Amino acid sequence: MRDTAPEEGYVTADGRKIGGVAMEMRNITLRFGGVVAIKDISFDIRWGEIRAIIGPNGAGKSSMLNVISGFYHPQEGDVIFKGYKRPKMRPYQVARMGIARTFQNIALFEGMSVLDNIMTGRLHHMKANLFQQALWWGRAQREEDENREQVEKIIDFLEIQHIRKTPVARLPYGLKKRVELARALAAEPSILLLDEPMAGMNVEEKEDMSRFILDVNDEFGTTTVLIEHDMGVVMDLSDRVVVMDYGKKIGDGTPDEVRTNEEVIKAYLGVAHE
Ligand SMILES: Nc1ncnc2c1ncn2[C@@H]1O[C@H](COP(=O)(O)OP(=O)(O)OP(=O)(O)O)[C@@H](O)[C@H]1O
Ligand SMILES: [Mg+2]
């Protein structure tokens, strides 16, 4: 039985189509021993939107992303996905449901080439095992061709043709972040989770990354959940913003709504922390 009825969507001022609710976090509480990283938080994510999660250091943003990706299991609350309560799942099972992510600290295979790193994003799409590959060479070959084609499309899209053979270890930080995005996209996710995709980047790199996030959303309709500290970027990119502070939700709405929210202003000015 469905847990919620699908809702109607809406069209944004700039003509982008936002759909009904894709995922709902319902009364999520997550503890690590005595530390309560997330305190009774509820919010939803709509199909096609760019949803930001912001908040000061230690607010619980990455923990929330880790709940969505199945890496952490909350002690209380439910994750409702496509209208159904999601059972406790391992991260690879969540990935198979079309949810891909990047990490706050880059997690690539440094010794491998850019191309090979991106290919690892296709693992969920590889059905033929070694035995089948030996027995049905044709089928395995077809699968390999399809995977290659998809990866090449993403390499073109993110403009990284020139570094395709380069070992990741030799790349500057900004490009590593882009390769990580490429690997996540290789999985053809319907929901993309990005943990600080622009952290440590210079202005130009941030502009590039912002453009790619918007282009991905435009071109593939990818629903994106984004953690970011740069307020300018958040205000520019996102349709709606969840604000966290000390594990609690203190704001939720459009960029304009949260910008003028008293509690949010206090948290950012540090008043609430004194
Ligand atoms: N695996 C863990 N074990 C114990 N405590 C944890 C763990 N992960 C997070 N925490 C704690 O939970 C709280 C929230 O951490 P989290 O990393 O989610 O914050 P954040 O908002 O992502 O911060 P930042 O902006 O610094 O990345 C912090 O107090 C942190 O120390
Ligand atoms: Mg974090």
Best residue among 28, 30, 31, 32 to mutate for probing ligand 1's pocket (most ligand atoms within 8 Å of CB) is: 32
Can you tell me the distance from the alpha carbon of 185 to that of 180, in angstroms, rounded to the nearest whole number? Answer: 9
174 in ligand 1 pocket by Cβ < 6 Å?
Answer: no
* β strands within 61-214, DSSP E: 76-81, 84-85, 99-102, 191-195
Count of Cβ atoms closer than 10 Å to residue 14 Cβ? 5
If you average pLDDT over residues 17-27, what whole number do you get? 95
Residue 7 pLDDT > 80: no
Is position 162 within any domain? no
Is position 47 within any domain? yes
Is position 42 within any domain? yes
pLDDT at 13: 81
Pick the residue whose CA is nearest to atom 3 on ligand 1: 32
Residue 131 pLDDT > 90: no
State the residue range of the domain holding 88. Answer: 1-98+223-274
Can you tell me the distance from the alpha carbon of 49 to that of 217, in angstroms, rounded to the nearest whole number? Answer: 8
Burial status of residue 224 (CB atoms within 10 A of its CB: 0-12, 13-18, 19 or more)? buried
pLDDT tens digits, 151-206 = 999 999 999 999 999 999 999 999 999 999 999 999 999 999 999 999 989 999 99
Rounded distance from Cα 21 to ligand 1 centre (Å)? 27
Q: Are 181 and 212 in contact (CB under 8 A)?
A: yes
- How many independent structural domains does the chain possess? 1
Is position 205 within any domain? no
Residue 79 pLDDT > 90: yes
Nearest to 66 by CA among 34, 26, 37, 27: 37
Nearest to 25 by CA among 72, 91, 93: 72
261 in ligand 1 pocket by Cβ < 6 Å?
Answer: no
Rounded distance from Cα 193 to ligand 1 centre (Å)? 17
Q: Are 30 and 72 in contact (CB under 8 A)?
A: yes
Best residue among 29, 54, 61 to mutate for probing ligand 1's pocket (most ligand atoms within 8 Å of CB) is: 61
Is position 85 within any domain? yes
73: domain CATH number is 3.40.50.300
Q: Are 61 and 249 in contact (CB under 8 A)?
A: no
Is position 118 within any domain? no
pLDDT band at 105 (very low <50, low <70, confident <90, very high): confident
Pick the residue whose CA is nearest to atom 27 on ligand 1: 57
pLDDT tens digits, 203-227 = 999 999 999 999 999 999 999 999 9
pLDDT at 143: 77
Rounded distance from Cα 23 to ligand 2 centre (Å)? 21
Taking the CA of residue 65 as reference, the ligand 1 atom at the shortest distance is: 18
pLDDT at 273: 42
Is position 130 within any domain? no
pLDDT at 272: 43
Residue 123 pLDDT > 80: no
Cα maximum dimension of the chain: 67
